[in-house]
Chain A
Amino acid sequence: MHRLRLAVVSMVLLAMLLPGLSTVSAQQNRIVVYSALPDLETSLVHREFTRRTGIQVEALVVPAAGTLQARIRTEKDRPRADVFVGGDRALHIPLAREGLLLRYRSPAAAEAKIDPAYLDPDGYWHGWYLGTLSIIINTERWDRELGPRGVRKPASWDDLTRPEFRGHFVMPSPVTTGGGYIFLAAQIFRLGEDRAWTFMRALNANASQYTPTAPGTIALLERGEATVAMMWAHEAVGARRLRYAPLEVTVPPDTGFEIGAVSIIRGGPNPDGARAYVDFLMSRTPQDINARFGFRYAVRADVGVPAGATSFEQLKFVKYDLDWAVQNQTRLRERWTREIGR
């Protein structure tokens, strides 16, 4: 009995020591990155960053930018991460406003002549990729159910309200996802608020589900749970090229978009390393990796359009008033719940 008790106690002590040892051996020359981009792109970009600068990267990859934003907020008295990368700038702006980000203007951005529209005038975030909202069709299900009935494929947002699509449509919820909200705001910028709600009600008649997470939409569509979806174009292109999903992407006129940002967290352990990271993201290689494996548009002019994506010149963006969209977010989400009710 004595021996057994001693064994238990020594196991406890040993287990307590183990994780401690591993943190002691951690290197000084490293940065911690919170990444909202998928694993593949993140790890490729980081491998290249370490090769170029010698700085090790420890990444927390959560393809849900809100989680990371919340995390940075709760860690504000003791920041653990140096860099927050990925997610629309709308997720970085509140952090800047709360004083949690470090101001920085990367000389690499000026050198690369990046369009100032992609950079924060105050220097809190740098945009380094672009994503667009699109209409996506599951061609397998389309050919089985809607094609034979001679239904025309949707080419504009208004087409989505046609009665043929009743029960066939899915999109991310505007209440719980950034993409869904950008879509709602884009409709208001396109049609004016009153007509936008009329449009939303008509669209609602077709919707089978508003997924609470953004990846949920593409997952449903890929499996044929739905036929038509509103979703980020790069997600669909990626699903088609990496998983051979039978998806077809159309970017309609007046589309909404995201500017994927990177920002430096104030008070992080390694601000110099963080600056080097932002400089690196402004360079060609990481943007090329992101275009190749994440199918997002680069903000640099010298990186090609992602394979299988609409050419940049053909894209027609809605005139998106970011400030208005951010200020009216709570009100619009509340109104959505009231008018659409799900």
Chain B
Amino acid sequence: MSTLLTILLASYLLGGLLPLCVPGRPHLQNLLAHGCAAGAGVVGIALGLAGLLAADPLTGSFSSNIPYLTFAFRLDPLAAFFVLTISLVGLAASIYALGYVGEFSGRVSLTLLGSLLNGFLLSMTLVVLADNGFFFLILWEAMSLLSYVLVVTEHEKPGVREAGLFYLIMTHVGTAFIILTFLIFFQETGSFSFDSFRHPDQRLPEGLRSIAFFTALIGFGAKAGIVPLHVWLPYAHPAAPSHVSALMSGVMIKTAIYALIRVYFDFLDGEFPWWWGFTVLVIGAVSALLGVMYALMEHDLKSLLAYHSVENIGIILLGIGAGMIFHTYGLHELAALGLLAGLYHTINHAAFKALLFLGAGALQFATHTRNIEEYGGLLRRMPWTGAFFLIGAVSIAALPPTNGFVSEWLVFQSLFLSFQLPTLFLKLILPIAAAMLALTGALALACFAKAFGMSFLAQPRSSHARHATEVPVSMRIGMGLLAGACVVLGLAPMLVVPLLDRITGPLTGVAISSKVLALDGWVVAPVTVEFSSISTPVLAALLVGAGALGLLFARMMGKPLRARYYKTWGCGLNLTPRMEYTATGFAQPIKQVFETIYQPTVKLETEFLEQSKYFIKHQRFEFHIEPLFEKYLYTPVVTFLLAIADRLRIIQAGSLHLYLTYIFVTLVLLLLWAG
């Protein structure tokens, strides 16, 4: 395993450095950077699998001459799982990037883009491997900064720099809280080593534990994009090049999920009051619902997908939150189930969200726009991209027999099993969370019906879409890889569950693999088969069989008539793309029903002909939805900070003498205080 790890790190480093050594040869640079990253991805998948199956964690440590900092790493099943996830998406994104970066040729330095991608992948991989708080923070910061630089790749475009700055600020607010969390542990244990966090000489006081819970939740939550800390996500993720967006949405935000599980179940030893789990659950439910609701109103395909990341982080947290609640009450099997459901959804979301972002990138590559309203009819022009995007859409909408369905189903089950909890309050809250999840699922279905339908079906709505052609092979391979992963993860839960069980087993103290899988693994059940069960392979077979039956009926009962092709009925007119339903129109009923949340403002200006008010010369329609969190949470904070800064300007005269006086006075005061 250590050999694999060495190869992995070396490949990323080579991928980062080699392109810099061959200046002026963009093709070779492209090949070197993304080839190394793809190779590292393959190695990483192997390493992740090996780490999951290994009996003992692989550890290692290199001391440094900086106090408290040791370059310690530890590959336990939890870390291995995230290495696997990162590598899988990294592999697909690197292959995809081979063709995709051509889009940026001549505008940005491809050398840097390739190098930074390797650096970003390396930092993410190391973050989950780090076993020292100091080391972890350095890597976390590196990951944040590298992703920031990648976000502002196209900084000449309007809005990109602002998006990058917003991201930079939010991620550092988060980092501040993470530092706080580690300092709390450090204060009690006197060391930054994760091992001492894990096994402190004496238990942390109750109050401090609760503070650590909240600082970790805020710190990592800002990276994960939980509501209300999600606001940077829909700006930053779309601004980045699509393969980077895929990595950010697919795996970078998952490192926060990793860290939360690490802190709650590992460092804090899984001992917590019920309201911790309850808080996580509520945040999960709210994130899921609001994420998908805002996604529905988006017409920028990549912003839409970014909002769906908020939704899916919510679903993951629903599983983890339920697991935490069960854990508090000593229902260890159910705790393991909730956690397993959350982790299963983590890798599923990584697969389908990355796939969808790569698909969005392919659309942008072919049409040079991200606006759904300007797409249309692309399935006939880009059949491969369309088919892959459809697989992603069906998966994220959690429709059987795909992978999204399996993990969402497991989350549902862990919420339904709440009747085993002792308090009436929680017995009612968990089913309500399930109902919110059901609403979320239904809205996600509507949203992806919109996204796919408006982009790929009917007639092209713009000349961009009309002239679109299929993307290069490397991009199709990248997408195909993830589409394949979605199918495998959906149809073969018997392969996934035992692996996940190796993570949840040590964390919750009970192995449930044999109970979750029944009938030789053909059936997935939440601990007991009597409560419920599904079998995606059988469902898939059933669907294929029933579809074949339909085909048989069509053949047997009818004459073998060839279909006739004719234009769509347009009430006697020739149908033009302007008559098609728009994405805005499609989502309008939803906007109206959930008015309270959206608070839409609609503006309609009509200019009539002078001769008659029955003939319209010009009409302009505008609608906006109120960004609630930005308006009521962020704007006040920013205004407040600016006001303070304004006051403080009094002492900032710009005179060097004055500043020297300040320093002198401060020094004297400090000396007095120290004395």
Bound pair (A, B): no
